[in-house]
Structure 1
Amino acid sequence: MSWLSWLMPGRGNAAQKPGAATPIATSARIEPVDEKPLEDAQRSDTQQVLPWLLGCETLTDTPMTPIERSALDAIAKTLAKPELTDNLLPRAAALIPQLIALVRQTELPTAAIAERIGKDAVLAAEVMRLASSSHYRAQGSVANLEQAIERIGLQGLQTVIARVVLKPIFQAVPGPLSARAGKRIGDYSEALARHTAILSGRAGQAVFDAYLAGLMHGTGWTIAFSIIDRAGLHIAVPPSQAFGAALAEVAQRLFGQAAQRWDITAGFTALALDARRNGLAAALHPLAHLLRQAQQPCLEELALG
């Protein structure tokens, strides 16, 4: 299924028109989902993310090395702090407020939204590209930005904004692991966002919250690699399976630690708090369930790319 298919009106969560009174935030309350404990296959999918990000062979079936343990200890010290320091994800301090401001403006009348979007050439071009894609071509050509915004609807506009505004957040920072995985984290995050959004439509969850969760989930890996690089630790590639499993869990908690300050939507904030407390395997929030489910199709797509 193409990732654009869930943007079409009548599929999943129906596309809303910009300017509608319906708020974009969802309830912050965490409700347990009817889900069995994380299956072995899903655990395997989660652990396969690391070798893909590093572009290496399957993780080794060897004991965790002292350097790997030191890396986890360095991450544990960061997680023990009340908040994440900005230098571990330096672009977030500028990009997240920009995203919040733009998303909140999607509740304005269409003409006002078009005026604001039109000031950003890259964002405007992406909105026009989506509205002119094959999924909307049957509705005729698009003459201007207002028509394009009307056509893609509220959730289409919000996801375009998130994708364009947040893309620089995954640019590689100095360090061997960060440089090695930087672009791949961005690719992984976009793929995970698409598949999480598709699943959210089927589950009746807020599509934008799901897309945002998938897109930002990779920041946990970005932060983890940055911590290891800043500690001067050189992890052998491929690392051990034990290290990969532990790193996948703490990366989820690091995502939560960073995202708990990003008050983009109530649903996203609730996921962040749950992620920091419980990691991936034990998280209760419905968005965490969707993220786990999206891992396999995300990895399949990346493997074919």
Structure 2
Amino acid sequence: MSQTTHVGASPRDESLADLAARHGLSVSGARPPLPEYVRQLWGRRHFILAFSQAKLTAQYSRAKLGQLWQVLTPLLNAVVFFLIFGILLGARGGMSKAEYIPFLVTGVFVFAFTQQSAMSGVKSIANNLGLVRALHFPRASLPISFCLQQLQQLLYSMIVLIVIMLSFGQYPDLTWFLVVPALTLQFGFNAGLALIFARMGSRTPDLAQVLPFVMRTWMYASGVMFPIRSMVEERANGPSWVADILSANPAAVYMDLMRFALMDGGYANTVPAETWLYALGWSVLLGLGGFVYFWKAEERYGRD
């Protein structure tokens, strides 16, 4: 009596992975290919905008002055820096008060955009784990949304900045239109920076406690309160290559572009044309690099 030979495996022998593949199922939360991820992110653009606006509205909802603190906070910082660096330390680099105050306020507002983008980005995943674990969406939506929130806050602050410019004799001309490409490039850089810190902060929450010290050091090295070249070469008698390196760092680059766009003569005339190339390079490098770096860990957010 011959035995019957069975061709192929029985359904009982089929693995769960093969069964899922045969029915078109995929792993929940798996990282999609990069082009598909970009498409999904674009599809959530309305959520990103609405989420950023909601966070902006709620930021000072419990304060009596409400949204005025969006402008008052950087202005108060500028007043403190003016008293310390502009008057006590005399670090104006030969600028008059009429030129130094627009220089200082522009630096404070523009650097705050980068600083707050990084600070909100590092906590964007860790502080929204409930949302990350409950819903399926591209996780990059969160740090980008927080960065967009900071851009909206800066745009409100620009109203006050323009008033200050006019008060100190800095009147509108065609260079003011350069604010748009300057902020566009800075947003690309800030978004990439927020994405990098978002991934790092999701694995190491303590980074949020260390980052303020890093940002404060970066601020002092970027010429927010004083012209870098004057401070390094004239007051500190340092070599010119040190000033070149500090001037090429991204925070200094984007501040200089905004000062060049909004201010006339004096310091604005010392901003070299290659600053735009630095701005473009930093925006592309951090924007694309940070996006890819964040995407590579997409399936781990909310699971570590």
TM-score (norm 2): 0.28
Which of structures 1 and 2 has the larger relative contact order (alpha carbons within 8 angstroms, sep 6+)?
A: 1
Structure with higher Rg: it is 2
TM-score (norm 1): 0.27
